[in-house]
Structure formats: C-alpha cells, structure tokens
Amino acid sequence: MPLTLKDIAEMVGVVESTVSRAINDKEGVSEAKKKEILKIVEEYNFKPNKLAQGLAKQETHILAVLLPGLSQGNYSKIIENIEAMAEKAGYQIILCNTHNDLTKEKTYLDLLEEKRVDGAVILGGEIADHQILNTKLRGNNNIVLVNRLCEEILIPTILIDSSYGSYLATKHLLDLGYKNIALITGNNNDYIESEKIKGYNQALIEQNKKINHNLIIETDGSRSAGYQAFIDLVNIKTPPDSFFVTDDLLSVGLVEAVKMGGYFIPQDYPVVSYGGTIINSIIEPDLTRVIEPLSQAGKMAADILIKLINDKQAEEKIKVLKPTLKKSDSTKI
C-alpha cells in the first residue's frame, strides 16, 4: 500500500492539510515540521495521488484536442507538440476527431462543459460555430483555437499566416522569372486554403502581373487531384510554366503526373510545395517548400490553454505565426 497524506500526518503528529502545505511549499508550516515531513516524503518516495488532487480541485488534468480529421499532415505535428507541452505541465491529452460533424463536435464540447476535461484546443475547420461560441460564452470555458476564426467573440487563437507563406512561394517563382504560375489548392471552404489563394494573388499584384483564373485549380486536396490538376493545366491554351501546390499530398500527385508526362523538375516545370511534412521528404527531387511553424503553434496553443486553466493568462490574444520558405532542388535552375 502506498503511503498516503493521512499516514504522513499521523507519523508527524499534524493534520493532513499541514502535510499538504509542506509538500506544496505553502505558508503556515514551521521550518522544523516542514523538514520532518519532507524527510518522510523522500524516504518513502511519496507521490501525491493526482486523481485525488484533481477531484478535490475539480480538475482532471486532461486536455481535449478537437480536430476535423487526421488526414491533413500538419495536424500530427501540432498535436505532437501540444502533447509534449501538456505532458511537461502534468496534463494528458485526448484526441477528438469531429469529422466536421456538429453532433460529434457537441459531444466533445460537452466534455468541457461537464468539466470532464480542463480545456480544449480546437484545430482547423471553418468559422467557429455556434456550439463553440456558446461553450465559450456559457461558463467561460477554456478554449484555444488554432487556425480557426471566430466572427463574434475573441477566443485565444493561434494562426499561421498561410497567406504569407503562399506569398513567399509565389514571389520566389516570380523572382526566378516565371510568369504563368499555376496554383493548385485544397478546398477553398477551408479558411487556410482561401488564405493561400490570397497570398498568391498578392504576390502577383505586387509585381503588376495579371491574375489568370484559369491557372488556379481548386481540388479536394487528394493525391489523385494533384495528378489530375497537372493533366488539366498542361492542356489549356496558355499552360503554366511553374507550379505552386498548397498541400503535400497534392504535390505527390502533381509530381507523379509531371514525371509520367516525361517532364523534368525543375528544368521543364519548377514546383513549390506547401507543408514540408514527411510526405515531402520522399519526393524526388527535393521540393522547395513553405514550412509552417507547426511545432511552435502546438506548443503555444498548449501553453496558452494551460495558462488559461490556471488563471495565469492576463489577456486573451491572437497570435499570428509566419511560415518560411525552404529553397531546394525543385526550383534550382
């Protein structure tokens, strides 16, 4: 049987709360008693029961991470870092896959309302819906959004400025002298994808280039869609001279199609990708790519959430992180 607070209290001849205060380095315990208590703690390798502590404080030390699905490569990196940060602070995480289904999302948000988790990070998706809004408004529940916007209220948010990333990619191709840059995107309903189109447009406008809408292809973000996009684009009247693909999986498909057509990257078609996840590392040649600060986003989200839970967050904020461009073989002429 492991030693309990009660056992230590009896051994030292004090009440349990005094033992607890001594262990937690709080005032109200004489130095002598504190020493005595800590000696027993060390001797018997006493570990406070987290569950009991949580029950007493109505805390679970569990964080929920809500996400629309696991298929998008960048979520895993963010989650990994949320978990690492959470673990350091003594929290565990549970993954809640909503599949963009409001009923499922409600079930997971109820965990927060019912105090079965201490807080939630909500990753991606469309605009914060009424359920998220209400969960926040009702009990001032602890929520942090990552790459998700809210029209009505300020919820602490981490955003990666994907518009800027897309701008960097397009500008890079423009600076290399390419004029007809094709943009292959995922679903434009997604805030992030719509932002990427914005960045692409901005780079063109800045260099007084006309936006050719025939060169912008919106897809479902799949590998086959990337493949098909290349085939569709090389057959139009003014075909592209370079490609910017906003998702790794799309890039895989596009690169396959380029090679299948007997073309070379970058000699015939330079390609810039967006993401830099593991999928990208198996593509030959190594792709120039926009790299998002995913680790930072995950760590920051967990950090803000834990601070909110512990009332240490002075004000609710929106933090915007900037991606970078890693130049590589696919645009080396």
The SS3 of residue 109 is helix
Q: Is 130 in the site for other proteins (CB under 8 A)?
A: yes
With a CB cutoff of 8 Å and minimum separation 6, the contacts of 82 are 63, 65, 93, 121, 298, 299, 301, 302
- Distance between the two ends of the chain, CA-based, in angstroms? 70
Q: Is 159 in the site for other proteins (CB under 8 A)?
A: yes
Regarding beta strands 157-160 and 62-67, do their DSSP bridges make them parallel or antiparallel, or are they unpaired?
A: unpaired
- Which phi and psi angles does 161 have, rounded to 5°? -75, 80
The nearer residue to other proteins, 129 or 286, going by C-beta atoms, is 129
Q: Is 127 in the site for other proteins (CB under 8 A)?
A: yes
CA dihedral (164, 169, 170, 175) positive or negative: positive
The nearer residue to other proteins, 137 or 236, going by C-beta atoms, is 137
CB of 49 to other proteins, least distance (A): 30
The nearer residue to other proteins, 67 or 85, going by C-beta atoms, is 67
* Calpha distance 110→170 (Å, rounded): 43
Q: Is 146 in the site for other proteins (CB under 8 A)?
A: no
CB of 134 to other proteins, least distance (A): 4
Which of 10, 101, 206, 316 forms a contact with other proteins (CB under 8 A)?
316
Which of 4, 76, 100, 188 forms a contact with other proteins (CB under 8 A)?
188
The SS3 of residue 176 is coil
Q: Is 194 in the site for other proteins (CB under 8 A)?
A: yes
Residues of the shown chain interacting with other proteins in the complex, contacts defined by CB under 8 A: 126-127, 129-130, 133-134, 137, 149-155, 157, 159, 161, 163-164, 188-189, 191, 194, 198, 316, 318, 320
